[in-house]
Structures are given as C-alpha cells and as structure tokens.
Amino acid sequence: MADHDFPVIDLSPFSTTPGAGDAKKKEEVIRRIRGACSASGLFLIVNHGIPMAALSDTLAAACEYFDRPAEEKLKWVPPPADAASAIPTGYVNRAAVELARNNSEMFVIAPTGSASNVYPTEPPRFREKMERTFGNFQRTAKLIMTLLNDALGLPPDLLHQYNDNKQCDRMIGHHYFKATADTKKMIGSYPHKDANLFTLLLRDDVGGLEFLRNGQWIPVSPVPHSLVVNVGDFLQVLSNNEFNSVAHRVVSLSEKDRYSCAFGCQIDRDKWIEPLAELTSWIKMAPKFKGFYPGEFLHLVIASYKPSLDPNDTFALIDVVNHYALPPWTTPN
C-alpha cells in the first residue's frame, strides 16, 4: 500500500462496542483527521460501522439497476425535483446526458421526504435497498461530522447544531463507468469539487478516482471495505480555510465495469454559510470568505460548469469558492 498518499484511518476506537477505544486512541484519530483535512482534504476510513455485506449489497443493487435495458431505466427516471430544490433538476439532467456521451451513467437519489425525492421505484426492492444504504451512510456521516467538529477544535456538537436539518442529506449519485478496451485514459467524472460539507464515497475495487495536488492528479487506490471522505466547499468556507475542499475526478482505464456511490452531507438551502464565528471571533482570525446561501453557490457552480473530455485538460475546473474569497487579509491585533 506504499502508493497511498492519503491516510487510511481506522475508526474502531469510536465503535459503539463497549470499551472499544480509549481516549488516547480517539485523540489520535481526530489528530489524523485534522491533518488530512488541512493537507489534501481527503482520507479513507475503515471500521466505519457499515457492515461489509451492506457495502456489497449497495454496489450489487446499483449494478442490477444499471444492467437493465436503457428503455426500462428511462421509464424509471424519477420525476423532476421540485422547483424550490437546492439542486435544480437541470444540473442532474445535464450531468447525466454528458456522462452518457462518455460511456458512463449516473443517477441521483435522495431520501423520502427530502426536497428532491427521486428514488427510482424499480427494479423490484430497489427502493428498499437504497433506503437501507441511505440509513447506513447517514449513521456514519453523523460520526464523521462529530469528528470533523472536534478536529476543528469547535465546541462539542456545534456542527450538528448548525446543520440540524437532516432532510437535506442526499445520496449524490450512483455512478457507473462502462468497461473500456481503450488503453487511453478517459474521463469518467469531470474534475470538480463537491459543493457540500463533505462526501462519503463507496467504490468497488476498480480504481480511477484521482485527486489534485500541486497541479498533479494523484490516484486514490482502492482499499477493501473502506469509504473515502472528502471535504467539500461549504466546510472549507465554514472552517475559514482550515480544511481544504479537494478537486477530484474519475478516469476510466479498466476493462472492468466500475460502480461507485456517493453520499453528500448537504446544508439546508436557507442556511447562511460563512466562516464560523467560533473560529474567527474567538481566536481573532480574520474571515477569509464572504457569506452566501447554498442555492446561490450551486447556481454559480452550474453556470461555470465547463466539462472537458481531455484528461490532460486540468482545468475545466472552476473553483467557485474563490469567488467568495475576501482580499488578502491581515490578522487583527
């Protein structure tokens, strides 16, 4: 595993099994999370509480869905998200169309009752499987939120209190990249940063995920039963740049089909996002970003979306966070 350029963090000290972890082990986990979030903005977790069988079931269900003939899948396409949804339907459609051109498919789902309830109801028992997947991700996301809170040195539970509306978590997407005999790299997911607090990502063992560091794409090789956690734009802003939202992409270079499933920890669309006062006023750190609402941010993401199929074209990616960056700042006395 020498090629890992990111930490693989064992969360067993936080398992609910009695006596699982002593305070020292827990502190070490938090210290490593802090290091990872401020460096690359990405880390892997193992012993995260989702049973291995549940991880395989999720990927198997996605495989079952994508395997169906196109005309069947089209019939199952969920109704458009409502107009008031934080993520306009156009975004989803556009991404789907562009990915389809590139031999990939995706669909986006969200839980029952959320602003955009878009679970496909077919194939049989699919919805049930997705709801179970959602519940599993949600429990692990809750733990991650607590750990990120502590890694930022915030008062206990502050991020949970700030982001108190659980209706806005969403399963960002199930992705499917078809096998290709072509040995040249093809883009599966365009370079992007996630416009959320953080993402939990389940991947199969095919590989292809890469993140950007110092202008170089670094592969995130698969680690069995792990989940990827990557910091999103909103956490970068709330943390006043202490944590880094990571640019990433997926290249398909495998003769095997690839499946992945991303769970986004979102923010309520009515929530004002700006560097947390606990970080700025308490420790007298000047805010590095001006505030915004998530909906406005997402519209900018869409407006600046510039997909490129060329894996050498590093940018295609427009960093919307920069739009909100305040001019060079000085630390107040």
Ligand X SMILES: O=C(O)CCC(=O)C(=O)O
Residues that bind ligand X (CB under 6 A): 172-173, 175, 189, 194, 199, 201, 203, 209, 248, 250, 260, 262
DSSP character for 289? B
| Partner in contact with 175, chosen from ligand X, Fe ion, none, beta carbon below 5 to 8 Å by kind | ligand X
**H or E element in which residue 203 lies:** strand 198-203
State the CB neighbour count (10 A cutoff) for residue 306.
12
Q: Minimum distance between the CB of residue 175 and ligand X, rounded to whole angstroms?
A: 4
| Partner in contact with 197, chosen from ligand X, Fe ion, none, beta carbon below 5 to 8 Å by kind | none
150 binds Fe ion (CB under 5 A): no
Calculate the dihedral angle through the C-alpha atoms of 123, 262, 171, 83, rounding to the nearest 10 degrees.
Answer: -110
Q: Minimum distance between the CB of residue 68 and ligand X, rounded to whole angstroms?
A: 20
**H or E element in which residue 74 lies:** helix 70-76
d(CA 66, CA 80) in angstroms, rounded, equals: 20
Burial of 54 (0-12, 13-18, 19+ CB in 10 A): middle
Name which of 163 and 189 has its Cβ closer to ligand X.
Answer: 189
Q: Minimum distance between the CB of residue 185 and ligand X, rounded to whole angstroms?
A: 15
Query: Which amino acid would we find at residue 186?
Result: M
Name which of 107 and 243 has its Cβ closer to ligand X.
Answer: 107
Name which of 100 and 286 has its Cβ closer to ligand X.
Answer: 100
Name which of 150 and 194 has its Cβ closer to Fe ion.
Answer: 194
Residue 50 corresponds to which tokens in the numbers above? 């989702």
**CB half-sphere exposure, 143, CA atoms < 13 A:** 24
Residue 291 corresponds to which tokens in the numbers above? 């505030």
Query: Which amino acid would we find at residue 36?
Result: A
d(CA 24, CA 231) in angstroms, rounded, equals: 25
Name which of 232 and 287 has its Cβ closer to Fe ion.
Answer: 232
| Partner in contact with 307, chosen from Fe ion, ligand X, none, beta carbon below 5 to 8 Å by kind | none
Name which of 10 and 194 has its Cβ closer to Fe ion.
Answer: 194
Q: Minimum distance between the CB of residue 223 and ligand X, rounded to whole angstroms?
A: 13
d(CA 196, CA 300) in angstroms, rounded, equals: 14
Using CB under 5 A as the binding criterion, the count of chain residues that bind Fe ion stands at 1
| Partner in contact with 260, chosen from Fe ion, ligand X, none, beta carbon below 5 to 8 Å by kind | ligand X
Name which of 10 and 194 has its Cβ closer to ligand X.
Answer: 194
From residue 186 to residue 225, the character string flagging contacts with Fe ion as x (rule: CB under 5 A) and all else as - is: --------x-------------------------------
Residue 127 corresponds to which tokens in the numbers above? 């919805």
| Partner in contact with 174, chosen from Fe ion, ligand X, none, beta carbon below 5 to 8 Å by kind | none
Nearest by Cα to 14 from 1, 3, 28, 4: 28
| Partner in contact with 104, chosen from Fe ion, ligand X, none, beta carbon below 5 to 8 Å by kind | none
Site residues, Fe ion (CB under 5 A): 194
